[in-house]
């Protein structure tokens, strides 16, 4: 039911004595986090999010999700970065990239994400997909001023108002934003939208277990109570008084820092299920915005195998030795499909006859880990025992805790993201936004 950290493929790269040497610093990093005395501590409310949920808001989330399920065929979720990736990660991890096709069959709303680019073409496509079907909108922005989602919201707000009239439209628009300030808060108040809160002390990339993620996730038919229960188990584990090396998040933070200090600047998270793709996108934001600053930090990338074994696999095996891999594996078979019989054995596959396809996937994992480690690429192995809400909630908190400890170990504030502002300022200048000189 919990994340397991396996060091099977790390023997040749990290000695136990090195782990022992970093243990006191990791312990201090964790204690500092829990005591909320470290740098960035004003953004550490995610630490207790699984237990500190506003119960009133939680009930409203379930109610809003129920309303959307009953009166909409489509939910348009508008947001970017931390206001987008968590919900998409959870929905696709649990329901697969075909979640919308499955939702349509199950009588649940399809969920489309917009506002993640300034692509008019993408907006056109989503409008066409909705067609004349009933829909609702969840606009999510902590600042309320991020340009890409703000533009998308203008488009879909006008569309929904045209379709239903202003009054009914305002009952179909749900705004998730800051409790006290911002342009979106003003619009929401003015129009009487139901509002959900992006908590003050939680940065976007740590917010998936708040209303930011929970409303779209619940609309997709996912059990958000179980998601939080899994996260709570990880929260309890992280806070529990025990040898810190018994904590998977601490081990992960220590090992990746040791590898980084040995010149492995890139971490590729790897999975053997296509439906891990967006979890990895969420993970990339969590890692990159938390650690990539002050001219340092591990560069996070991702790969889906076997797919990418036939593209970047070549580089990982034979290219410059700058990266290590972190494999995410689910031990329980998530499909019982087997290799079927054929009329004859012309394709030479009969040696696999009736064997589970999962066995082939496991062999690919082991074969690849052996191949890459033998070429000098360290592999961390993280295991979950099942693909369900509880395990995923546990994994989400695990990564959040690990990257926070990891940031402190590397003398980085893991809770700010100053670098993201530069492109925004340049864009405002180029577009001639009032107050930004050309």
Ligand X SMILES: O=P(O)(O)OC[C@H]1O[C@H](O)[C@H](O)[C@@H](O)[C@@H]1O
Q: How far is the CB of 421 from ligand X (least distance, A)?
A: 8
Q: Using the rule CB under 6 A, is 246 a contact of ligand X?
A: no
Q: How far is the CB of 86 from ligand X (least distance, A)?
A: 9
339 Cβ partners below 8 Å, 6+ apart? 349, 352, 353, 354, 355, 356, 357, 360
DSSP letter assigned to residue 382: E
In angstroms, the CA 374 to CA 131 distance is 53
**Stretch of residues binding ligand X (CB under 6 A), selected from 70-78, 142-150, 224-232, 324-332:** 142-150
Report 48-87 residues binding ligand X (CB under 6 A): 80-83
**Stretch of residues binding ligand X (CB under 6 A), selected from 139-147, 330-338, 389-397, 407-415:** 139-147
Q: Using the rule CB under 6 A, is 146 a contact of ligand X?
A: yes
Q: Using the rule CB under 6 A, is 204 a contact of ligand X?
A: yes
**Stretch of residues binding ligand X (CB under 6 A), selected from 141-149, 339-347, 378-386, 428-436:** 141-149
Interface residue with ligand X among 1, 353, 420, 430 (CB under 6 A) is 420
> Nearer to ligand X by C-beta: 80 or 303?
80
> Nearer to ligand X by C-beta: 22 or 140?
140
Q: How many CB atoms lie within 10 A of CB 194?
A: 18
Q: Is 189 in the active site?
A: no
- The one catalytic residue in 289, 325, 389, 400 is 289
Q: Using the rule CB under 6 A, is 289 a contact of ligand X?
A: yes
Interface residue with ligand X among 32, 143, 226, 383 (CB under 6 A) is 143
Q: How many helices and strands in the chain, by DSSP H and E?
A: 16, 10
Residue the block writes with tokens 């594996």:
329
Q: How far is the CB of 344 from ligand X (least distance, A)?
A: 55
Token digits of residue 317: 């095996």
Distances 105 to 99, 168, 271 between C-alpha atoms, Å: 10, 27, 27
> Nearer to ligand X by C-beta: 211 or 365?
211
Q: Using the rule CB under 6 A, is 141 a contact of ligand X?
A: yes
3-state secondary structure 138-151: EEEECCCCCHHHHH
Token digits of residue 215: 């409303």
Q: How many CB atoms lie within 10 A of CB 137?
A: 25
Q: How far is the CB of 37 from ligand X (least distance, A)?
A: 24
Q: Using the rule CB under 6 A, is 221 a contact of ligand X?
A: no
Distances 362 to 358, 359, 378 between C-alpha atoms, Å: 6, 5, 18
Q: Kindly write out the interface string for residues 390-419 of this chain, putting x where it contacts ligand X by CB under 6 A and - elsewhere.
A: ---------------------------x--
Distances 33 to 43, 87, 283, 289, 401 between C-alpha atoms, Å: 11, 26, 20, 18, 9
Q: Please say whether the beta carbons of 115 and 79 come within 8 A.
A: yes
Q: How far is the CB of 182 from ligand X (least distance, A)?
A: 8
Q: How many of the chain's residues bind ligand X (CB under 6 A)?
A: 15
Q: Specify the DSSP element, H or E, that contains 61.
A: helix 55-71
Q: Is 247 in the active site?
A: no
Catalytic residue positions? 289, 424
Binding residues vs ligand X (CB under 6 A)? 80-83, 141-143, 146, 149, 203-205, 289, 417, 420
């Amino acid at each position: 039911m919990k994340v397991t950290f396996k060091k099977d493929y790390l023997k040749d790269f990290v000695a136990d004595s090195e782990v022992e040497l970093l243990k006191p610093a990791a312990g201090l990093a964790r204690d500092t986090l829990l005591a909320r005395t470290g740098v960035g501590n004003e953004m550490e409310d995610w630490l207790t999010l699984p237990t500190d949920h506003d119960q009133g808001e939680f009930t409203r989330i379930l109610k809003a999700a129920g309303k959307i399920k009953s009166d909409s065929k489509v939910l348009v979720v508008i947001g970017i970065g931390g206001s987008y990736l968590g919900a998409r990660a959870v929905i696709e991890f649990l329901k697969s990239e075909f979640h919308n096709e499955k939702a349509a069959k199950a009588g649940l709303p399809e969920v489309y994400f917009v506002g993640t680019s300034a692509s008019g073409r993408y907006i056109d496509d989503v409008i066409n997909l909705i067609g004349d079907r009933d829909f609702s909108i969840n606009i999510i922005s902590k600042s309320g001023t991020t340009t890409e989602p703000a533009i998308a919201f203008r488009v879909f707000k006008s569309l929904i108002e045209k379709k239903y009239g202003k009054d009914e439209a305002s009952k179909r628009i749900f705004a998730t934003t800051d409790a006290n300030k911002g342009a979106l808060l003003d619009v929401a108040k003015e129009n009487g939208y139901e509002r959900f809160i992006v908590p003050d002390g939680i940065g976007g990339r740590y917010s998936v277990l708040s209303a930011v993620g929970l409303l779209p996730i619940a609309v997709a038919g996912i059990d958000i109570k179980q998601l939080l229960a899994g996260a709570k188990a990880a929260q309890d584990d992280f806070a529990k008084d025990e040898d810190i090396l018994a904590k998977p998040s601490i081990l992960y933070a220590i090992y990746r820092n040791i590898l980084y200090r040995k010149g492995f600047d890139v971490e590729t998270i790897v999975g053997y299920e296509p439906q891990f793709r967006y979890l990895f996108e969420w993970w990339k934001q969590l890692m990159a915005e938390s650690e990539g600053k002050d001219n340092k930090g591990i560069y996070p990338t991702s790969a889906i195998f076997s797919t990418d074994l036939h593209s970047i696999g070549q580089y990982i095996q034979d290219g410059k030795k700058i990266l290590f891999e972190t494999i995410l594996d689910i031990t329980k078979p998530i499909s019982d499909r087997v290799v079927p019989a054929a009329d004859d054995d012309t394709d030479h596959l009969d040696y696999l006859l009736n064997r589970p396809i999962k066995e082939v996937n496991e062999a690919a994992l082991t074969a690849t880990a052996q191949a890459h480690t033998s070429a000098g690429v360290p592999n961390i192995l993280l295991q979950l025992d099942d693909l369900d809400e509880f395990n995923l909630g546990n994994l989400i908190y695990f990564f959040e805790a690990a990257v926070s400890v990891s940031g402190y170990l590397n003398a980085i504030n893991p809770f700010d993201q100053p670098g993201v502002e530069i492109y925004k300022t340049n864009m405002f200048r180029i577009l001639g936004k009032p107050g930004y000189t050309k």
